[in-house]
Every structure is written in C-alpha cells, then in structure tokens.
Amino acid sequence: MTSKTVAQLLKETKLQEVEIKGWVRTFRAKRFIALNDGSTLNNIQCVVDFENTPEDTLKRITTGAAVHIKGELVESQGKGQNVEIVVSSIEILGDSDPETYPIQPKKHSFEFLRENAHLRTRTNTFSAVMRLRSALSFAIHKYFNDNGFYYMHTPIITGSDAEGAGEMFRVSTLDQKNPPLTDDGEIDHSQNFFGKDTNLTVSGQLEAETYAMSLGKVYTFGPTFRAENSNTSRHLSEFWMIEPEVAFMDLAGNMDLAEDFMKSVISYVLENNADDLAFLDKRLLDEEKTKPQAERSELSLIEKLKFVADNNFKRVSYTEAIDILRNSKPNKKKKFNYIIEEWGADLQSEHERFLVEKHFKCPVILFDYPANIKAFYMRLNEDGKTVRAMDILFPGIGEIVGGSQREERLNVLKEKMAVLDIPEEELWWYLDLRKYGTAVHSGFGLGFERLVMFTTGMSNIRDVIPYPRTPQNAEF
Ligand code: 4AD
Ligand code: MG
C-alpha cells in the first residue's frame, strides 16, 4: 500500500491499493467524495460503497471534514478524471460542521474570504495563488543561486532609515505611559532596549550594499515594513522584497539584470505551474466578462505572462516619459487627477499605468529621474539634476521594481546627506564603503506581492499574501 499525494495519484497509470488523507470538498449522492490534500488544484474522486458503510459514517462525510481513505485506484468510470479510488475503508479524522463551516461549495466574495483568511486556502483560487507564491519564491532563489549570488539575511530591526521617507514602525520596550525623558523633555532612547531609537526595516538595501562590496553579488529576500497610511489595492504595511546588489555593475547592467530575472521567474511558473495558471486564467476571463468592453484586458493571464517572458522591456528616460505624458490625451483633457505640467513632476500611478497600458503596451523601464524626487543614495548624473534611478512598470500593476546605481563618491554622498539632514553618525558604516575601495555598484528592489499579483491576475494585494497587514488590520 502506498501513501501518495493526490497530485501523484492523478498521474498514476498502474492500478493499485492506495491510501490518502485529505479534506472533503464535496460529497455527492452519498457516493462521490471530491477529496483535496493541497498538493494540486485537482480533487481525486473517491467512490464510497454506501450500502456497506454505516449511516453514521456517511453523515460525517461533510464539506471540510478531514478523512483517511484506503482503497483501490482504478480507471474512472465517469467523465472528468482518468483515475478514481474505490473506497474500501474510510476513517473520519476530523469532523466539520456543515451548518457553520464558512467555505461552502459555492462562490464566495474575496472580501468574505479575507475575513476567513485562515480557511481561504481551501478554495481553488487561494490554493492556486499560494502554490504560485511558493513556486515564485523558489524560482527567485534558484535564479540567484544559478547566477552566482549569495543570499544575505539583512536585519529586520534597524537604526537607520534606508529610504529617507520617515514612515517607519518604531521598535521600543520603553514604558509607553511613562517613558524616561531627557533634560529637554524628549523621550530618552539611550534607556531603550538597544540604547537607541530603532525601527522595523523599510529596505535591506544599505546593509546589502556592504556585502556586495565584499562578496560581489548578493540578494536579500525578506519582510519589509512601511507605516504609510496608504489604503490601496497595491500597498501593504508588511510586504516581502527581493533586493539584489552587485559590485562593479552600472545602471545599464542593473536594467539587464532586472529584466532577465523577471523573465526567468515568470518562465519558471509557466513551465512548472500550468494547472494553477490555467485555472487562474479562466477565473480572470470570467471576471473580465463582468466588466464593460472598454475596460477588458486584451490579453488573457497566460498570454500576458508569455508576453513578458518573450518581449523586451521598453527603456525610456524620465524626460521622454514627461514629454509623452504632457502631450497625452488624458493630460490635455484634464482626465488625470494630477496634471503633468513641467519636468520635475513626480509620477503618480495613473501616469505610470497610462505609459504601460495605453502608450507602450508592454513593460517599461523608466530611468534617469530628477534627483529631488528620488532617494539620497542614488548616483548623480553629469547633468547635476538627474540620478541613475530606474523603475520598472508593469501592466495592471504600475511600479513593480525600484532601483538605481548607487552614489559611490564620498564627497557627493556627504553633500547630499547634508542637504537632506541625514546625520553622518547614523550611517558612518555606509560612508566607510566610499572610503575603502569604493566602486560603481547597483541594485534594485522587487515588491514580491506585486509580482504575485501580476502572475496570478489577482487585483488586490491583500489576496496574494497569507495574512495581510494594512492600516487598521492585523487579524490572524
Ligand atoms: O521603490 P522602493 O521603495 O525601493 C526601495 O526600497 C529600494 N531600497 C530598493 C533597492 O534599490 N534595493 O520599493 C521597491 C519595491 C517597489 O517597486 C514596490 O514593488 C514594492 O517594493 N513596494 C511595496 N509593495 C507593497 N506594499 C508597499 N507598501 C510597497 N512599497 C514598495
Ligand atoms: Mg519606488
């Protein structure tokens, strides 16, 4: 007798005695159990001999129950599957209450399933999304490992603000009601747990740079925290970010790396997760049918993924993008919420989406942004007003990657920090990299959940991470 997963059994051609444990999806006509164990989207049909099964056991085979089945794997008599199990014994491992079990065999709204996030992976959609999330993580590690990168674990608790945006979660053990104060009445962080003010990291980049400048090619892949109060379908307060950092690589090399990397991980799931993608492709198609014609996507999910894997990303400078936007219809007709008037304007997601979805109709890499709308560490160009930054914009998502060549010149970096009031004492170790063997280096950050959204066709970021953290919500 073998103990195999449903995924393995469905591929078997040899008829044999088998045993399987899983959860009942449906039980039809007191005879047919659709059993799922998470190994695949597909259920295995288990045929119960209802005449020889006690009535009490039959009653306990309900949607959601955990069961242990032994039987014979045979060619299926019915349509829809090649093999099925003729049950010889069934043990109920865990009962379910059909009256209160939230995941009924019918369509549930994503909002309802978010409130039941602990059970939502028992649906086809969420099990497919989470299997893809896992496969994408693996593909990411595989890509970097195959290409000579070291995986670096950057700290989660930090004393520095990598993005200079100041929207961080504080980590503190001080008495909140009665914190120790300095003579000036400020909170005295020297008495705090780490002897200083600390926060949850917004990016592992600064630490990754230190390792790139000794190990050459490194990447981080870990949780990242942002306390911005953005309640959108693309923002989380806790999300996962992949950040490669490479010594001796300039901005052009950075764009090549990002493009090759994105294509590689998307190709990986196209090859290895065909069942789940086919299901999500159909799901999206059904959802699109409910939208007005003009809003429907021209490509199906799988077509979109293939398109990204097979076509070059369009590389466009910020300056060119501003010209396109300024002369665009929605700008002239004042359809944008933020009208683009002059060079230097920050791009909003409506502009990014116009560029990818309406103008270029392909992934776009925007580069050479104005220095004053980007972070302090980006390499200043010879023109003195733009920096070697790049953002990758994807259809349906907007910004998915943000990166840059880093400022490697000590004096230029110090001047920039002074202008922005970033204390040198806080980043002395970051400045050391520019004192001892400085060199051109670059990297980027990919928002993992935005990649999962793109790959699965899910439109809300809360539906691609197991337990989303967003303003006013940290359930589970
Ligand atoms: O553009 P960002 O802020 O770049 C950095 O943090 C750099 N330090 C990365 C680097 O160069 N190593 O963030 C990078 C990406 C964004 O493009 C976006 O995909 C994602 O992280 N991201 C978020 N995803 C979900 N929720 C949020 N609140 C996000 N903020 C950024
Ligand atoms: Mg960014």
Residues 145 and 247 reside in one and the same domain: yes
Tell me the two tokens of residue 416: 């920039």
User: What confidence score (pLDDT) does residue 116 get?
Assistant: 97
CB 405 within 8 Å of CB 250: yes
Tell me the two tokens of residue 360: 């270029």
pLDDT > 90? residue 324: yes
Mean pLDDT over residues 450-461, rounded? 98
Nearest-atom number in ligand 1 for the CA of 208 is: 12
Cα–Cα distance for residue pair 342/205, rounded to 1 Å:
31
User: What confidence score (pLDDT) does residue 460 get?
Assistant: 97
CB 344 within 8 Å of CB 370: yes
Given CA atoms 180, 185, 187, 188 in this order, what sign does their dihedral have? Answer: negative
Residues 343 and 213 reside in one and the same domain: yes
Residues 40 and 91 reside in one and the same domain: yes
Q: How far is the CA of 458 from the centre of ligand 2 (A)?
A: 21
Tell me the two tokens of residue 275: 């069942």
Nearest residue by C-alpha to atom 9 in ligand 1: 445
CB of 251 shorter than 6 A to ligand 1:
no
| Reported confidence tier of residue 1, pLDDT bands at 50, 70, 90 | low
Whether residue 456 lies inside any domain: the answer is yes
List the CATH number of the domain containing 352: 3.30.930.10
pLDDT > 80? residue 341: yes
pLDDT > 70? residue 318: yes
CB 431 within 8 Å of CB 407: no
User: What confidence score (pLDDT) does residue 80 get?
Assistant: 79
Tell me the two tokens of residue 60: 């306990």
| Count of the separate structural domains present in the chain | 2
CB 421 within 8 Å of CB 245: no
Strand-pairing partners, residue 454, are none
Q: Which one, of 408, 390, 391, 409, lies nearest residue 400 by Cα?
A: 391
Average model confidence (pLDDT) across the chain: 95
Tell me which ligand sits closest to the C-alpha of residue 231.
1
pLDDT tens, residue by residue, 363-397 = 999 999 999 999 999 999 999 999 999 999 999 99
Q: How far is the CA of 37 from the centre of ligand 1 (A)?
A: 35
Whether residue 116 lies inside any domain: the answer is no
Tell me the two tokens of residue 341: 């008037």
Cα–Cα distance for residue pair 351/368, rounded to 1 Å:
17
Nearest residue by C-alpha to atom 20 in ligand 1: 447
pLDDT tens, residue by residue, 147-184 = 999 999 999 999 887 777 668 999 999 999 999 999 99
CB of 22 shorter than 6 A to ligand 1:
no
CB of 64 shorter than 6 A to ligand 1:
no
Q: Which domain holds residue 69?
A: 6-101
CB of 222 shorter than 6 A to ligand 1:
no
pLDDT tens, residue by residue, 428-443 = 999 999 999 999 999 9
Whether residue 108 lies inside any domain: the answer is no
pLDDT > 80? residue 84: yes
CB of 203 shorter than 6 A to ligand 1:
yes
User: What confidence score (pLDDT) does residue 166 get?
Assistant: 66
User: What confidence score (pLDDT) does residue 203 get?
Assistant: 96
List the CATH number of the domain containing 79: 2.40.50.140
pLDDT tens, residue by residue, 251-283 = 999 999 999 999 999 999 999 999 999 999 999
Mean pLDDT over residues 37-46, rounded? 97
